[in-house]
Amino acid sequence: MQETNRHFFKFSQALVTCVLFLAMALLAGCGGTKVYNIDKTMTYRDTLYNVSSVSTFKPREEARLADGEVVSLRGKEKKALQAFFKENPGVMVSMIVDLDTQELVYLRSRANNYSEYSRMKNRFDGAVKDITKFMGNKKSTQLKLK
């Protein structure tokens, strides 16, 4: 009789150990799959932009000449930009972020020389960096641009 109880005790102990390992394995698998389904919004100058479904955003820098021609300033070298502003003082410069079909005009101002443009560009580059960080963070829900 004692031998039967001993075998039963060993069997029940093995069964409890197996159940505990199975439970730990199931619990470990639960924590790895998190889904965030939160609306993302950006605010800039009292305008609210819903960017939850935005798949791409693209920064754009352009100047509008007196005759209405639009010239892209993105990716131009410093000397080319200095020459451009020397030829076109007081040109209207726009710093824009394209959000799929939406357009966020971050800055629009006249620039008389390269120095003024450079200050605008530094501010714009900081905003683009903030947007990039915000869009990449799944937990962030709101961004207020300055």
Q: Which two tokens mark 113? A: 């020389």
9-46 pLDDT tens trace: 666 676 667 666 666 666 665 555 655 557 888 888 88
Same domain, 50 and 95: yes
Q: How many domains does the chain have?
A: 2
Q: Read off the tokens for 13.
A: 């102990």
Q: What is the pLDDT of residues 68-100, one digit of tens each?
A: 899 999 989 999 999 999 999 899 999 999 988
Domain extent, residue 14, equals: 1-34
Rg of the chain, C-alpha, whole Å: 30
| pLDDT in the model for residue 124 | 94
Do 9 and 78 reside in the same domain of the chain? no
Answer yes or no: do 66 and 6 share one domain. no
Same domain, 50 and 98: yes
Instruction: Tell me the H-state helices in 31-110.
Output: 78-87
